[in-house]
Amino acid sequence: MKITTSTLKRSGTLKRSGALLLLPFAATLLACTASVDEQLTDDAPTTAADRLAQYTTVQLVTDTQLSDAHRKMIPLLIDAAKEMDAVFWQQSYGDRDALLGGLEGAELGFAEINYGPWDRLDGDAAFIAGVGDKPAGANLYPEDISKEELTAAVAAAEAAGDTERAAALTSLYTLVRRADDGSLTTIPYSVAFAEHFQLAAAKLREAAELAEDEGLANYLSLRADALLSDDYYASDLAWMDMRDNVLDVVIGPIETYEDKLFGYKAGAEAYVLIKDVEWSQRLERYAALLPELQQNLPVPAEYRQETPGADSQLNAYDVLYYAGECNSGSKTIAINLPNDERVQLEYGTRRLQLKNTVRAKFDKILVPMGGLLISEDQRSHITFDAFFANTMFHEVAHGLGIKNTITGNGTVRHAMQERASALEEGKADVLGLFMETQLEQRGELGDGADIRDNMVTFVASIFRSIRFGSASAHGTANLVRFNYFLEAGAFSRSEEDGTYRVDFDATRAASNELAGAILKLQGDGDYQAANAFFERYAVVGEQLQSDLDRVADAGIPIDIVFEQGTEVLGL
């Protein structure tokens, strides 16, 4: 999310509905603050080779034994995924071949990682000469559109009783374009991307014929239908119904991160996955606790009146292939789907922990970063099990809270527009830690678990995710949390060696307070209050910038890229 805030006034407070929402800013936080983009780009790499070096390469493989049917299906699913890659290039930039055809070397490789000429780890700054700023709506809207124009067009359609046009303008599955007379029109994804969606659908149907699991076969067939109709509800339900399948695929237009104008339009993506049955069995008991955890949220009753679907699943997977939105810039390590609020409230969601990717980020990024930034006597609390658990409970927490505003402003996603993604990611982070502390008190966290591991690993991972930059909802959410936790005394910084020490009691309290603040923002659907919230907390202080620079100077990568596909898998 692109945020360009000015220096904040130290005495500022944010009030909503007569109640103090946020704590006063500490003086140490506000020393020399500037906009996210200004600060994070001060010492950004200047050459394509330097930018490319921010990523380290990982092979996507699995230890899970593949059946003969799986070995035949996986290439078909990868072929279908590649079509989502082509679609996301169009959504993000436009003509992929025209851009890449004029590039070579590191510049070419970096454009492929970013699905365009803008650096996703650097606030979407252009890294190719002559390229202008990335439009907030990417290539999902006309480049010259404003928020006011689209809002007015929707209001005019509703006033005229043309609910179909109003819905199409804000639909997840339409491109907005200009008609010959300059007015706004829409093109359904199934029409705009017909060639790619038809090819993907054919591959999914071919894979369905080979599927050993009846539920997987049904889902693949329905998902193929959905790509051609823009109606994903039936296939979402079929995906929720799957229980025993080991091979899985997530495919289609799903997340709205690419739409930073409104957060309405879904980006195409795909994952090809294989279940880790042993790890999945460890996780399944937590999903049943969701309704009870919802009632314990640190927020007034009206903000927790929704009941999470009781049919949620929690499993661990190895990823065999990434494509499209999830493969752009920083890589996803867990999935919580479907996003359809109707499905979530009635049935719940499926939460997929991407174990091989989590392990790669832990080993190659979090461990060396913790060795640099965390107090020496607390580094032993940075563990893979805690990192995996934090990731898992983050995804579980997406199912908690509120999906529809309590003020009649519609869904949280529509009310919060382009702020929705960063708010939701921030909510999931702190509610995940809240859930872990609740379970620890009940003795449900697992044998040998130490909540201090979760807390120190959580704080160390804040620095990891801030480096994703302001173009990432996750990066922005972690920056907000760093500043909120700093002023709440959840951690302190040693002037002697520049390391951070976690205060466990203060961290517990801060996570509860921040969770309550975000849940109220979401429940009220107050877009202006959300803007003030980010202007207050999504800032990079001088000291934080210095610490991030130390991490970069140590050569610790920001994220990973993949060697992936049938050859890597030996298929």
Residue closest to 21 by CA, chosen among 539, 484, 544, 552: 484
Tell me, what's the pLDDT at 445?
Answer: 77
Q: What percent of the chain has pLDDT over 90?
A: 64
Q: Binning pLDDT at 50, 70 and 90, where does residue 69 land?
A: very high
Residue 558 has pLDDT above 60, yes or no: yes
Tell me, what's the pLDDT at 435?
Answer: 86
Q: Binning pLDDT at 50, 70 and 90, where does residue 12 land?
A: very low
Higher pLDDT, residue 33 or 541 = 541
Residue 9 has pLDDT above 80, yes or no: no
Residue 29 included in any domain: yes
Q: Which pair of tokens denotes residue 60?
A: 């996507």
CATH number at residue 395: 3.30.540.30
| pLDDT winner (highest mean) among 30-39, 279-288, 561-570 | 561-570
Per the document, the length of the chain is 571
Tens of pLDDT, residues 187-223: 999 999 999 999 999 999 999 999 999 999 999 999 9
Within 489-570, residue ranges assigned H as helices are 504-524, 527-537, 542-553, 566-569
Residue closest to 282 by CA, chosen among 395, 392, 208: 392
Largest CA distance in the chain: 67
Residue 13 has pLDDT above 70, yes or no: no
Tell me, what's the pLDDT at 167?
Answer: 96
Tens of pLDDT, residues 141-176: 999 999 999 999 999 999 999 999 999 999 999 999
β-strand partners of 312: none
Tell me, what's the pLDDT at 308?
Answer: 66
Tens of pLDDT, residues 32-49: 333 344 444 445 567 889
Residue 214 included in any domain: yes
Query: What predicted TM-score, i.e. pTM, was given to this entire model?
Result: 0.81
Higher pLDDT, residue 426 or 311 = 426
Tell me, what's the pLDDT at 128?
Answer: 93
C-alpha dihedral sign at 16, 19, 21, 27: positive
Tell me, what's the pLDDT at 43?
Answer: 52
Q: What percent of the chain has pLDDT over 70?
A: 90
Residue 132 included in any domain: no
Tens of pLDDT, residues 331-342: 998 888 998 888
Tell me, what's the pLDDT at 341?
Answer: 83
CA–CA separation, 423 and 425 (whole Å): 6
Tens of pLDDT, residues 245-273: 999 999 999 999 999 999 999 999 999 99
Q: Binning pLDDT at 50, 70 and 90, where does residue 2 land?
A: very low
Q: What is the mean pLDDT of residues 403-421?
A: 89
Tell me, what's the pLDDT at 212?
Answer: 94
Residue 142 included in any domain: no
Degrees (nearest 5) of the Cα angle 376, 549, 60? 80
The whole-chain average pLDDT of the chain stands at: 87
Q: Binning pLDDT at 50, 70 and 90, where does residue 281 land?
A: confident
Q: Which domain does 375 fall in, by range?
A: 18-48+194-569
Q: What is the mean pLDDT of residues 53-75?
A: 95
54-83 burial, b at 16+ Cβ within 10 Å, e below that, comes to: bbbebebebebebeebbebbbbbbbbbbbb
Residue 189 included in any domain: no
Residue 62 included in any domain: no
Tell me, what's the pLDDT at 470?
Answer: 60
CA–CA separation, 260 and 283 (whole Å): 34
How many other β-carbons are positioned within 10 Å of the β-carbon of residue 279?
16
Tens of pLDDT, residues 296-305: 888 898 988 8
Q: Binning pLDDT at 50, 70 and 90, where does residue 401 land?
A: confident
Q: Binning pLDDT at 50, 70 and 90, where does residue 471 land?
A: low
- For the chain, how many structural domains are there in total? 1
Residue 25 has pLDDT above 60, yes or no: no
Residue with tokens 């606790």: 289
Residue 398 included in any domain: yes
Residue 65 included in any domain: no
CA–CA separation, 545 and 206 (whole Å): 51
